Amino acid sequence: MLHLDSSADRRGSSVTRRLTGEFARIWRERHEGAGYRYRDLAGEPVPLVGSGYVGLGTRVERQGVVPPEKVAALAEGAEEEREWALTLPLVAEVRAVGAAAGTLLVGAPMYNFGVPAALKAWIDRVSFPGVFTDPDSGRALLGEVRVVVVAACGGGYGPGAPLAACDFQVPYLRAYFARLGVAAERLHVVRAELTRARDIPGLAAFQDASDASLAAAREAVAREAVAQEAAAGPAGLAGD
């Protein structure tokens, strides 16, 4: 399993960090000895992609699907070499999960209607052209990966909520992982909503709904962690 956290709140009060931590604890107890890798994307940020990444990626994409082991030979200059050196280890982690038909666990709070910059930086870097496609068959290498997104938002963004149209968190992640080739039935989303109801006066009326949403999210996380078969707020409000 590859476990990613992206909340900027590292003081122990992050909802997504607590929920992904519970998932990982249960999963590891049930899969003793299985490979487990953790990345704190806020604590150790992935560098933003630079001009060298764009140049190398464009050149590679024009040649079709190029296996990762052959990309370095296409780099022109130190900047492109440096960008690929930063990219390859992250790509390799995800490819290893794909090869093992393993689990990718993603903690993703909502920041300003979308995902945190720390997570977006990781997404931008691992999404190098062709690295998750088999060069011979065109098959998606992540088709058997199980992706569990643990999300949180400070307000309410579910169906029928006044701000439902402002949810660029979960729909974005669904679209992104689908584009990578993750099967729809293998993508699972757990979200706790109204997480700021107990500390923002304007949301105080939703405290019971907040508690119920968090309890449901905890139950869902526990269910997902023990699953043996995969799949068969106001503007500016941080939701974590």
> Left, alpha or beta for 12 (phi > 0: left; psi -120 to 50: alpha)?
left
Q: Is the pTM of this model over 0.85?
A: yes
Q: Give the mean model confidence (pLDDT) for residues 4-27.
A: 96
Report which secondary-structure segment, H or E, holds 191: strand 187-192
Q: Is 152 buried (19+), middle (13-18) or exposed (0-12) by CB count in 10 A? A: buried
2-226 under CATH 3.40.50.360, yes or no? yes
Residue whose C-alpha is closest to residue 124's, from 171, 168, 77, 172: 172
Confidence of residue 236 (pLDDT cuts 50, 70, 90): very low
Structural domain boundaries in the chain: 2-226
Is 23 annotated in a binding site? The answer is no
pLDDT at 12: 87
Q: Is 1 annotated as a binding residue?
A: no
**Is 53 annotated to bind ligand?**
no
Q: What is the pLDDT of residues 78-98, one digit of tens each?
A: 999 999 999 999 999 999 999
Per-residue pLDDT reduced to its tens digit, 52-80: 999 999 999 999 999 999 999 999 999 99
What is the chain's mean pLDDT, rounded? Answer: 94
Q: How many CB atoms lie within 10 A of CB 184?
A: 9
For residue 110, say whether it is annotated as part of any ligand binding site. Answer: yes
Distance CA 115, CA 173 (A): 9
Instruction: Answer yes or no: are the C-beta atoms of 109 and 152 closer than 8 Å.
Output: yes
pLDDT (tens digit, 9 = 90+) per residue, 128-186? 999 999 999 999 999 999 999 999 999 999 889 999 999 999 999 999 999 999 999 99
Give the CA-trace dihedral at 71, 72, 77, 80, to 10 degrees.
60
